[in-house]
Amino acid sequence: MNRQRIRLLWFVATLVMSLFLMLIPLPAPLMPLKPYWPALVLLYWCLQSGDRVTLGLAFCVGVGADLFDGVLLGEQALRLTAMVFIALRFRSRLRFFPMWQQSLAVLGFLLNDRVLLLLVRVLGGDALPPAEYWISPFVGAALWPFLFLILDDLRARLRIHEA
Amino acid sequence: MALNRDESSPLFAGSVAGTLRLIVYLALACVLMVLDHRGGWLNSVRYGLSLIVEPVYRIAGLPSQGFHAATVAFADRQRLTEANQRLREDLLLANAKLNRMASVAEQNARLKELLDTQHSLNLNVQLARLIGVDLGTFRHRIVLNVGARDQVKPGQVVIDARGVMGQVVDVMPTTSVAMLITDPNHAIPVTVERTGLRTIAYGSRAGDMLTLPNIPVSADVREGDKLVTSGLGGRFPPGFPVGEIREVAQTPSGMFLAAQARPAADLDRSEDVLLLHDLAEGAGPPAPATSSGPPADLAMPPQSAAPTLPSVTSPSVTPVPANATSSSAIAPTGTP
């Protein structure tokens, strides 16, 4: 029971952390390199415990992120829901990919996400973004193995602590 | 190998129910976006939820604040002394300039009063501080630590020591979000200071420049020309520096000249900014003048003719603490 609760807490804490990471500013030259943290953490949880991540949760996280960002309400909800849907669809296969292949898959997800964002922005009347707009998915994919290993390690430690 | 083969995660085929749910959520998101885009009640929802959002902004701003504090703490003494010295000199210079300007301002105010215009040199401002929060990489927004409780309203102009930074677009109880002039969706009416040519400066989609896409081909615009706000449109008061032209070229169609300008304000370095309080005159014709002729106090000039000394000798800003509700006025006010 207690263990269950700790796991749930850890799950929620990572998601909240990802939202914070999204808001924390980087020095100006590094700005375009910032990965889309909520997406990465959601993807991790998709692969690790797919029963906990549902489309509804992705939607809620997205709406929360929209509230914080002050963008169009529903924009990130749309993006995250679409991404989680694809990730859950291919979850069983993704889990058995070696790390580099997983990274490539994550790159695909993030690029797809950027395309969606571009569609929403352009339909909403914004101008086309500059070329650096496309760097962030690559950074995200490069960080994926590290993020995955760190989160996995922390999760394992928590479980040992509890047992 | 333990394959997870329940219905929630089939190995190959997806379920129809999952697709349906996806469609429902996507539709919901689209409805939200359309409603939000059309404006209206979602703004008030956001205002209500600011109870949650604002503390998060404050917390998310902590790392950059801490970083700033650390750089100050570890900056060596010599650099600080140098900076202090430089600031002192700047202040001295600025004060000297202001002192000289005060008499001119006074004279100007007097002449304007004679003309019965409503322009004034009063600057009614409020000091605000940036909160270090990243609202998306290419979004050109900044978060300020003043909000509706400090009488901030959408549309207020944000300036720093060098020029116009942008305008407030979103107000929450104790924070507000401002759009920078470099945002692609932002436009600001400007005049070229040297020639008086009126045009409009838009934000550019590539980073930190302004574009002026429709200058007449025959216009006299050069590299290095200063741009100031023209005051047209009734939002930005006239006379504030906006930027400096860096490059002029013909548009591909050959119908216009297009110029690139660098903003005068330190858009990515300013920490303290000023919010202007309702300075610009509203759009539309001015109210009809009630009395013609000079104002009553200028009708009897003999005793006040001799001294044209400035009544305000050293105008200075009294910085308002961010949460103070009052706003300070920058001299020169030039009241006779």
For tokens 């959408």, what's the residue?
B154
- Quick check: B322 pLDDT over 80? no
CB A45 within 8 A of CB A53: yes
What pLDDT is stored for residue B292 in this prediction? 54
**B30 lies in some domain:** no
Residues B165 and B67 placed together within one structural domain of the fold: no
Q: Look at B136-150, B184-198, B238-252 and tell me which has the smallest mean pLDDT.
A: B136-150
> pLDDT higher for B177 or B298?
B177
**CB spacing of B33 vs A125 below 8 angstroms:** no
B62 to chain A, closest Cα gap in Å = 9
Q: Which of B101, B122, B143 is the last residue of a domain?
A: B122
pLDDT digits (tens, 9 = 90+) for B60-106: 888 888 888 888 788 778 888 888 899 999 998 888 888 888 888 88
CA distance A100 to B54: 39
Asked whether residue A89 carries a pLDDT value surpassing 60, the answer given is yes
User: CA–CA distance from B54 to each of A68, A85, A141, B47, B133 (Å)?
Assistant: 9, 31, 31, 10, 11
Residue A112: both structure tokens together: 């797809």
Is B84 contained in some domain?
yes
Closest CB to A74 among B33, B60, B64: B33
**Cα B205 to Cα B138: distance, rounded to the nearest angstrom:** 8
- Tokens read off for B52: 């949650």
Q: Residue range B179-208: average pLDDT?
A: 86
d(CA B279, CA A18): 41
Could A130 and B138 be called an inter-chain contact, meaning their C-beta atoms sit closer than 8 Å?
yes
Shortest CA gap A16–chain B (Å) = 10
For position B263, which CATH number holds?
Answer: 2.40.10.350
The answer to whether A92 contacts B4, with C-beta atoms less than 8 Å apart, is yes
User: Is B326 part of any domain?
Assistant: yes
Q: Tell me how far apart the alpha carbons of residues B67 and B211 are, in angstroms, rounded to a whole number.
A: 34
> CA A139, CA B199: separation in Å to the nearest integer?
40
Number of domains composing chain B: 2
Q: Do B98 and B131 fall within a single domain?
A: no
Question: Which of A15, A52, A78, A113 has the highest number of chain B CBs within 10 A, making it the mutation to test binding with B?
Answer: A78
Mean of the per-residue pLDDT values for chain A? 85
Residues B194 and B104 in one domain: no
Q: Looking at CA atoms only, how far is residue A60 from chain B in angstroms?
A: 10
Is B252 found in the same domain as B154? yes
Domain identity same for B173 and B215: yes
Which SS3 state, helix, strand or coil, does residue B99 take?
helix
Same domain, B108 and B256: no
**What single DSSP character describes residue B314?**
S
pTM comes to 0.68
B105 and B137 co-located in one domain? no
Looking at A49-58, B4-13, B163-172, B275-284, which range is the least confident one? Answer: B4-13
What is the interface pTM, i.e. ipTM, of the complex? Answer: 0.78
Written as one string, the DSSP assignment of B303-322 is: GGSS----S--S----PPPT
Q: Is B196 left (phi over 0), alpha (psi -120 to 50) or beta?
A: left
- For residue A152, pLDDT over 90 is answered with no
Angstrom distance (rounded) from CA A32 to CA A130: 10
Quick check: is B178 in a domain?
A: yes
Whether B183 is in a domain gets the answer: yes
A31 has a chain B CB within 8 A of its CB: yes
**Closest Cα partner for B133 from A134, A34, A62?**
A34
Give yes or no: residues B325 and B226 share one domain. yes
Query: Which among B103, B122, B141 is the end of a domain?
Result: B122
Least confident of A74-88, B185-199, B314-328: B314-328
Is B67 part of a structural domain of the chain?
yes
Contacts of B220 (CB under 8 A, 6+ apart): B194, B195, B197
Examine the fold and report which residue of B89, B105, B122 is the final residue of a domain before the chain moves on.
Answer: B122
One domain, residues B277 and B206? yes
Same domain, B88 and B106: yes
Q: Does the pLDDT at position B219 exceed 60?
A: yes
Query: Mean pLDDT across the stretch B17-27?
Result: 85
Q: Which residues of A touch B42 (CB under 8 A)?
A: 73
Contacts of residue B85, Cβ cutoff 8 Å, sequence gap at least 6 = none
Query: Does residue B233 share a domain with residue B144?
Result: yes
Within a domain: B39: no
Q: Would you say residue B308 lies in a domain?
A: no
What value, to the nearest 5°, has the Cα angle with vertex B204 and ends B256 and B158?
115
Question: Is A147 near chain B, with CB under 8 Å?
Answer: no
Looking at the structure, tell me whether residues B147 and B49 fall in a common domain. Answer: no
Which residues span the domain enclosing B101?
45-122
| Cβ pair B248, B223 in contact under 8 A | yes
Distance from the Cα of B58 to chain A's closest Cα (Å) equals 10
On whether the CB atoms of residues B201 and B214 are closer than 8 A, the answer is no
